Amino acid sequence: MFKKILKNLIAVIITLEAKLILKRYKPKIVAITGSVGKTSAKDAIATVLGQKFFARKSTKSYNSELGVPLVVLGAETGWLNPFLWLSNILKGAKLLAAPKKIQYPNWLVLEMGVKRPGDMQRLASWIKPDVVVFTAFAEIPPHVEFFAGPEALVQEKMKLIQGFNQNHFVVLNGDDKTLCEAKSQIQAKIISFGFNEENDLRASNYHITFRKEGERNIPEGITFKVDYKGSSIPIRIFGAFGKHLAYSALAALGVGLSQDFNLIDISESLSQYKAPVGRLRLVEGIKNTYILDDTYNASPKAVHAALDTLADLPAAGRKIAILGDMLELGKYTVEAHKAIADRAIKVANIIFAVGPRAKFISEEAKSQGFSPDNIFEFSTSWEAGKLLQEIMKEGDLILIKGSQGMRMEKIVEEIMAHPEDKEKLLVRQEKEWSRR
């Protein structure tokens, strides 16, 4: 009880400080929401804005009622350490009490998430963005378990643009059906992006690029072309894969254009963009293999996208899909996991199901004729990692994907070729996470 009271008190203090800091320093704000792709979009947008301004972005998964104020303060979570929380409070006090304004970002790039009804309303009551980015909504979105259904979750996130007018910009994924239907209700300047021709920013010619290493073609990154008002520019992103990165880059282009940035300048700044760790990054594995590390989190739409990327990438050996539980899906849990099997059996030679919910993937795969000899079930990521070490063969390409709570990055750590680099290559490497 005491810990809960203390946590609530800290949240009240830090939120109050954050509100006052915004009033004093008046930074411009980009707020990003949606079901998938928020973090990659946030990083791409911060890269673009950072070329001309002092921009601060949400770190890690700081997108909640407590996380967003921490970003405003420029602070890290104190976890269970009261002294770290006190330090955060003092940091906020310093920004407010300084006789002269301390250097503060011109732009804040904030990821805005919701878990329960009312979450976005409370954030939107004091976060007043200049630009809102909608990435994409899923048929079965994450965090839906506390809402009446996907529609209710979408409506909660749309509260972020209440009060918007023609002085504001909304940058949205025009390939998303839900967002297309909502466009007529948005009272702001809209920049749409996607692969469909109707979009303001239209991508085409998406493909994976390769580099030569001896006799092998090693995937290097992605490239695509963007058309905007008669101009056309190429975009290249290195070190990661998947169309979601193209959408993230397009979102960043849209934000840049909303601020009258030159299209070519934005394109050049995106060449500096590094996809976040744990988001379809290619990592070298033991036994001369490659790991497609997508361990940051998981939702049905994101898992399907990861499997599509696994299908697109060539492999000298087998394709192995390591799929962990997707959490916070409520009544959609069984349906969503079974739907994953439909795609997995078409892409993978071997399937690992990790966690009690992932068993629905393996059961559905077997029911559709996938060989039981090539399906393995595990309770934990640690167990999966140990067996994977044994069965891996040279040339295998291994996708690893699951919700944050499944700690799928532990599997990557078990089989990566250079574990000494795990702190810079993997998600959740803080000491606090290691204790969980």
Q: What is the mean pLDDT, run by run of 10 residues, along the chain of 436 residues?
A: 74 95 97 93 96 91 89 89 89 92 95 92 95 92 84 92 94 95 91 97 95 83 95 92 94 97 92 89 95 95 95 95 96 96 97 98 98 97 96 97 95 96 91 70
Q: What is d(CA 339, CA 308) in angstroms, rounded to the nearest whole number?
A: 14
Q: What pLDDT sits at residue 318?
A: 98
Domain extents in the chain: 2-270, 281-434
Give pLDDT, residue 436: 65
In whole angstroms, give the CA distance from residue 293 to residue 408: 9
- pLDDT for 435 equals 66
**Residue-level pLDDT at 432:** 72
For residue 393, the model assigns a pLDDT of 97
Q: Which superfamily is assigned to 281-434 in CATH?
A: Mur ligase, C-terminal domain (3.90.190.20)
pLDDT recorded at residue 58: 87
CATH superfamily assigned to domain 2-270: Mur-like, catalytic domain (3.40.1190.10)
